[in-house]
Structure 1
Amino acid sequence: MPKLSYAKALNRALTDEMEGDPDVFVLGEDVKFALNNVTTGLADRFPDRLLETPLSEQGFTNFATGAAMAGKRPVVEYQIPFLLLLVLEQIANQANKFRLMSGGQVRVPVTYLLPGTGWRPGWGAQHSDQPYGVFAHLGVKTVIPATATDAYGLLRTAIRDDDPVVVFCPMPALTLREDVAYADLAPIPLGVGRVCRPGTDVTVLAVGHLVHEALTVAEEIADEVSVEVFDPRSLHPFDWAGLAASVERTGRLVVFDDGNRFCGVGAEVLATAAEEMRLVAPPKRVTRPDAAVVVGCAPELDLAVQPSRAQLVAAIQAVVKS
C-alpha cells in the first residue's frame, strides 16, 4: 500500500476538487511557487485558476468573498497563521455573516487554507501561533486534520461547504506519512470526531498534531493506564456526542490543546464536559501557557511553552489517581 504524506493529501484534495468543479480556484501569495508543496503542479494543470496575489491579505480575502458570492468556490492559501488576524474582520464579520444577513439567499463558500500553523523552531511569537480557537469562538467553521486521510477528506468537504471554512494544518504534521490506498480517500463530514485508540481509564482529547503525541504517550504508559485518544477533527462544529460517548466509557478527561490556556479550546471542552458529561474525577488540560505570546525568537524559550508529552503524562496520572 502506498504511503501518502499530509502535504500530498492536501495537494490531491485540491486537484480532485478543481478537476470536478470548474468554479474552484486557488489564490494567495506564492501559490505558483508551491512553498508548502500544497499547490505543486496546479499551475500547469489549471493555469487560469491559480492566482498569484499581491502582498495585501485584506484585499484578496475580500476578493475571495466577492467571488464566492458570485458563484465561485475560492480556496485562499495563507503562508503564515498570524496573517489570519489581519483578515479576522473580513472572515468572521463579513464572509461568515452574509448568509445569515441575507436570510439564506447568499452563499459564501470560501475555504481559508493554512498549510503550516503552530510552532516553528526559532520563528518567534508572531509566526508560531495557533489561532484556531479565535475562529471557533466566533462561529466560523474550523477544522484541524491530524492525518493525511483527514487532511484530504476534510479539505474536500470544506471546499464543498456553502459557508466559510478555515482549515488549520499543523506544521509538525505536514511531513507525516500514512499507508493509504488512493481509492479509499473520501470526503469527511464536519463535526464528526474519531476514536484513534480505545481505552477504559481516561479519555485524552487531542487537537491536531498533538493526536500523534497522545498516541505515543498512550502506548508508553499502556501497562499502567488504559488511555482512549479522541480526535475531534473539527472544532466548530464540534462532535460533543462523540466526546460524551468516550467520556461515558472512561469517566475521566484530559484535553491536549496547542492553543493558549485562557479562553482556549481546552477551557471550552472542560467546561462543557463538567456541565453535561459523567465525570468521576475533575478534568485537566495541557495547553500553551498564556505567556506564550511574549516569547521571542530564542529556540529554548520557544520550545518551553509548547505542550509536552511529560505534561500530558502528569495530567493523565493526576486524573486517574483522583
Structure 2
Amino acid sequence: MAQITLVESITQALAYELNADQRVVVFGEDVGINGGVFRATDGLQQQFGVDRVRDTPLAETMIAGIAVGMAAQGLRPVAEFQFMGFIYPAIDHVLSHAARYRNRTRGRLSCPIVYRAPYGGGIHAPEHHSESMEALFAHIPGLRLVIPSSPARAYGLLLAAIRNPDPVIFLEPKRIYRAVRQEVPDDGDALPLDRAFILREGNDVTLISWGASLKETLAAAEQLSTEGISAEVIDPATLKPLDIHTVIDSLEKTHRCVVVHEAPRFGGLGAEIVAQINEYAFDLLQAPVNRVTGYDTVIPYYRLEDDYLPGVSRIVSAVREVLEYSTGEVK
C-alpha cells in the first residue's frame, strides 16, 4: 500500500464519499478545474463531473449560504474556503443559520454541512493566508470543530464529518499537508468524532496540542525523553465538543500539563482546556497548567514567522517550569 500525505488523504476521503453517497456535493473557489489551491480536490471534477464538484465565484458569503440551502434540502455539501483568513464574511451564515437549524426547527431539520479550510501559519504566506482563529468557531453553539493532524486522522475524521448530521468546521493544517506520509487504507472506515487520541504515552507531564503544532510537541516530547522526562501527548482532534475525559485520565498519571497552540494566547482554546481542567481535575494537579501559544498580535510575515509559532525550545521550557513548580527543581 502506498503511503500518502495529509492533503492526499483529504482527496481520498472526498472521493470515497462522493462515490458512496450521491447526496455529497463538493464546491468552492477553484476546487474543480484546478483541483484547489493546495490540490486537495485534484481530479475529483474529472471523476465525478461538474454537478458534483463545482467551482464558485470568489464569494465566501455565497458559498456558506448555498451550503445551508443544500443541506436543508437533503444534500450533504462539502464547502471549501481557500484559506481560513477568507472565512470571515461567511460567519453570519455559519453562526446564524447552519449552527441553529436543528434548534430552530425543533429537530425537524438538520444541517449536515462540512466547511473545510486550510489554516495556520508556517508556509511563508501573507497574514490572511496564515491565521489560526479556531476559537471563533468553538464559541458557536451547534457547531463541531475538527482539526486533523495526520493523514490517517484526516481521512477518518473527514469521513465522519461528512456523515455527521450537523455542521462541522473542518480545519486542515496546511503546514503539514505534505510533511509526513502514512499508509491510509481507502476502506471508508471513519474515526470517531468527539474523542481525543493519545499519540504518545507518558507519566511525568501531559502535553495537549492539535494541528501542525503537534509536530513540535512530539519533537519536544522526544527531546524530553533524553532527559528522563516521560511526556504523554494528546491530540484532541475534535476541539468542540472537547473530550476532557481523556485529558483527566492522563492527569491522573502525570499531574502536570502543558497546552500548545499557534493561535493567539488571549481567549484561545488553550484557555478553555485549562478552565475545564481546573473545573473537573483541579485536585489532580501538582502545578498550574502552562500554555505555549502564538502571541497576541497579527501573525507576522515570514521573516518573523518562526519566532511567532511555538517551537520545541519554548515547549521544553514550559515543561521544565511545571516540573520545577511541583518538585522545587528541574527533574
Distance 1:244 1:222, change over 3 A: same
Say if 1:149 and 1:185, in contact at 8 Å, map to a contact too. Answer: no
**Paired residue type of 2:207:** V
- 1:249 CA displacement: 1.0
More off after superposition, 177-186 vs 275-284:
177-186
Aligned to 1:8: 8
**Matched residue SS, 1:167:** strand
Q: Give a deviation string over 1:13-63, Cα, whole Å, max 9, x none.
A: 001101110000101000011121211111111112011111111112101
Counterparts in 2 of 1:107 and 1:234: CA distance versus 1, 3 Å: same
- Quote the offset at 1:300 in angstroms: 2.0
Is it true that 1:137 corresponds to 2:139 in the alignment? Answer: yes
- Which residue does 1:88 correspond to in 2? 91
Equivalent pairs, count: 318
Amino acid at match of 2:3: K
Alignment-derived partner of residue 46 in structure 1: 48
Aligned residue runs from structure 1 range 104-253, under 5 A: 104-114=107-117, 116-139=118-141, 140-182=143-185, 186-224=189-227, 225-253=229-257
Distance 1:183 1:63 in 2: 29
Gaps of 5+ in 1: none
What's the CA shift for 1:236? 0.6
Uncovered stretches (5+) of structure 2, i.e. residues with no partner: 326-331
Residue 120 of structure 1 and its aligned partner are, at CA, apart by: 4.1
Matching residue of 2:328: none
2:292 aligned with 1:286, yes or no? yes
TM-score for the superposition, normalised by structure 2: 0.93
Do 2:151 and 2:184's aligned partners in 1 also have CA atoms closer than 8 Å?
A: no
Distance 1:70 1:276 in 2: 41
Asked if the contact 1:207–1:258 (Cα under 8 Å) also holds between the matched residues in 2, the reply is no
Q: Does the CA contact (< 8 Å) of 1:121 and 1:303 recur in 2?
A: no
Judged with a 3 Å threshold, the aligned counterparts in structure 2 of structure 1 residues 188 and 181 are, in CA distance, closer, same or farther, namely closer
SS at match of 1:96: helix
- Residues 109 and 162 of structure 1 are in contact (CA less than 8 Å); yes or no, is this contact kept in structure 2? yes
Identity between Structure 1 and Structure 2 (%): 33
